[in-house]
């Protein structure tokens, strides 16, 4: 099982979603930016580090939502979501191929990585 954090980032009252690129696992699927927890790293340190590495921005981490365990055909993940606020930095996509700033209704129309669907549902109902 791989442990992955992801951030639902509020950016000017919209939510940031990012699209995985062709060369990543789950190509072209939409997700919340984040990544694998390193040995000895806290979830919050992980999410802040991953967001800076992938997007070049600083965030303030807010609320932990319900983690999702999901079995993909070749691997299993525990995806741990946090809500967050954009704080500073110019957004740059260092790994993903696209992003959107969307409201809750627009988010649900994207082609999400399957593990994100329960997270999206919980967030939309908050």
Distance of alpha carbon 13 from the chain centroid: 17
Closest separation in Å from C-beta 77 to ligand 8DG: 5
Closest separation in Å from C-beta 116 to ligand 8DG: 5
Q: Which of 1, 25, 103, 108 binds ligand 8DG (CB under 6 A)?
A: 25
Q: Which two tokens stand for residue 51?
A: 């967001």
CA distances from 123 to 36, 64, 81, 105 (A): 21, 11, 10, 11
Q: Which two tokens stand for residue 114?
A: 């399957």
Closest separation in Å from C-beta 124 to ligand 8DG: 15
Q: Which is nearer to ligand 8DG, 14 or 96 (CB)?
A: 96
Nearest to 114 by CA among 80, 68, 82: 68
Give contact residues for ligand 8DG (rule: CB under 6 A): 4, 6, 24-26, 31-36, 77, 79, 113, 115-116
């Amino acid at each position: 099982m791989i442990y992955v954090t992801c951030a639902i980032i509020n950016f000017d009252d919209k939510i940031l979603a990012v699209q995985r690129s062709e060369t990543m696992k789950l190509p072209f699927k939409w997700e919340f930016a984040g990544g694998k927890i390193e040995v000895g790293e806290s979830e919050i340190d992980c999410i802040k580090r991953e967001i800076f590495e992938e997007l070049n921005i600083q965030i303030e981490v807010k609320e932990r939502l319900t983690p999702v365990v999901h079995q993909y055909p070749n691997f299993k993940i525990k995806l741990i979501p946090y809500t967050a606020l954009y704080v500073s930095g110019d957004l740059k996509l260092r790994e993903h191929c696209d992003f959107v700033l969307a409201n809750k209704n627009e988010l649900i129309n994207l082609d999400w990585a399957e593990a994100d669907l329960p997270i999206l549902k919980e967030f939309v109902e908050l």
